[in-house]
Structure 1
């Protein structure tokens, strides 16, 4: 199981890049320590692979364009394919650790168009209303899934027949998820209007963040008006276009400070933050320390 403290993105998109998903076995397990992320928050992203997670400790908040859900220790959940989401550690009294299975559904379905895909996979992954399925220990069905989910992370990759055994476990969990999803009333699900436009605008920001971007340009990227752009960001991402752009620039700056030898001035300019004085001011407001302090802590293997 891989320990993760940050995520990577594909070039020119906000889709998460998961290099461990090999073509011959598209699966990875990870142990995410959310406290180690900048601001204890995983930035907005999506991935084609589905996600099954169990909260080992702490409490995490999942946010999608449709709303928020809290997952305390002992709970878990399923995140559907291509769902835009962000997560934030809530607990301040203990470490926030999340165990994750991330895999492409072809691992279970086999060939595209197979009977298994048609009968058991597509009814879940093609449901636009099913973004996140919470698994809570309050009910018998949830307790049973959580018990098996927790146990599934104990399977060692050194075990003989590991791949077959893992696929068997994930298949069993998937069937239980299908039954759980069917029991969720469609009236309790939120609509997903604006999702495609959000992704278009996030991709545009990712491609053009070093430039002097305007809301007009951002709205045009999603073939919408400036007013609609503000509304989508406010209602679905709970922020403004400019605030989101600033937060994204700071994320890029943090990565450059931790991984490169570029000067503070060069980092600020490369991220579209202008002169070093303005960059330093905004960086401190968002991260809680100066760019120089952040670089020192990260490059000496400490965390903010």
Structure 2
């Protein structure tokens, strides 16, 4: 089984290039448990995303909401929205992921009236795509078609992909969603990204609650409310979680010992790191390193 490292930058923006050779689009299958973290970590990207669950079930978090997506159904995630995913009840979840640059969905002339208002709306972070609804079934079938076109690359497949994208977008917007544009919600999203960016840039250093709050231009209490509402965590617990996740890569791929890893990810006590790691992973860092050494990922 190939383990995949989900690459994001300090602001949680995904670094994966979502495009084929000639199109700003990517469509591929993802097995959640094959990620190095065991789940898809919190991130965002400029592309809009459609997901189709082909096996098992998944729990997606989009901004502060959690959505269980059933096998056969899907999910639309809007541009710029924070999201993550984990499989539900060890179901071995596999899904097709379709990422598209918003400017590629429709022609330039149609982008302004039919795409831009939807990706800028503050009340449209996601939409559950139900296979039992005709519009949902149309979208999910089109995702399958696009996945097949990109894998097989028949003649003129780029035109077929473009046609399917138009079909997807029309079925998405025919539901008559009443769009809203609330400036305060835009500001909240930006502040959350700024605080997370600060943590990801400084996790190896000493981080205080005041530092995180300052990055988001908030008071300490308001900072805590942001993290509680959006991530169901405290700011400092999130720092700890992030440090543990960073340690997984170093333990699996580096030649560092446990003490070196502890200090590299921001802990000033090896014993404290070991205790926290055991709580998160149900094994010690040394046992994890040994396990991965004896069971290396396939190349």
Q: Output the CA distance in 2 between the equivalents of 1:119 and 1:216.
A: 43
Show CA shifts across 1:36-87 (max 9, x none).
3366432211111111110001111111234221101000011110001122
Show CA shifts across 1:104-146 (max 9, x none).
1222345xxx312112210211112110111012323222322
1:7 maps to which residue?
6
Show CA shifts across 1:163-197 (max 9, x none).
222222222212211223x2x4569xxx9472221
Q: Alignment partner for residue 212 of structure 2, among 204, 213, 218?
A: 218
2:134 maps to which residue?
140
Q: Alignment partner for residue 100 of structure 2, among 79, 85, 103?
A: 103
Q: Output the CA distance in 2 between the equivalents of 1:85 and 1:219.
A: 21
Counterpart contact for 1:5–1:34, Cα < 8 Å: no
1:63 maps to which residue?
61
Structure 1 residues 4 and 148: CA distance shift in structure 2, 3 A: farther
Q: Alignment partner for residue 118 of structure 1, among 112, 115, 125?
A: 112
Structure 1 residues 109 and 138: CA distance shift in structure 2, 3 A: closer
1:176 maps to which residue?
171
Are 2:25 and 1:31 equivalent residues in the alignment? no
Deviates more, 1:270-279 or 1:39-48: 39-48
Q: Output the CA distance in 2 between the equivalents of 1:43 and 1:209.
A: 16
1:233 maps to which residue?
227
SS in 2 for 1:78: strand
Q: Alignment partner for residue 88 of structure 1, among 80, 86, 89?
A: 86
| TM value normalised by structure 2 | 0.89
| TM value normalised by structure 1 | 0.88
Counterpart contact for 2:3–2:35, Cα < 8 Å: no
Counterpart contact for 1:5–1:33, Cα < 8 Å: no
Structure 1 residues 292 and 42: CA distance shift in structure 2, 3 A: same
Structure 1 residues 131 and 45: CA distance shift in structure 2, 3 A: same
SS in 2 for 1:16: coil
1:41 maps to which residue?
39
Structure 1 residues 6 and 31: CA distance shift in structure 2, 3 A: farther
- What's the Cα RMSD here? 2.4
Structure 1 residues 122 and 186: CA distance shift in structure 2, 3 A: closer
SS in 1 for 2:217: coil
Structure 1 residues 73 and 134: CA distance shift in structure 2, 3 A: same
Show CA shifts across 1:230-289 (max 9, x none).
111111211111111111111111111222112221111010022322111111111222
Q: Output the CA distance in 2 between the equivalents of 1:172 and 1:234.
A: 38
Counterpart contact for 1:66–1:192, Cα < 8 Å: no
- Give the paired residue count: 292
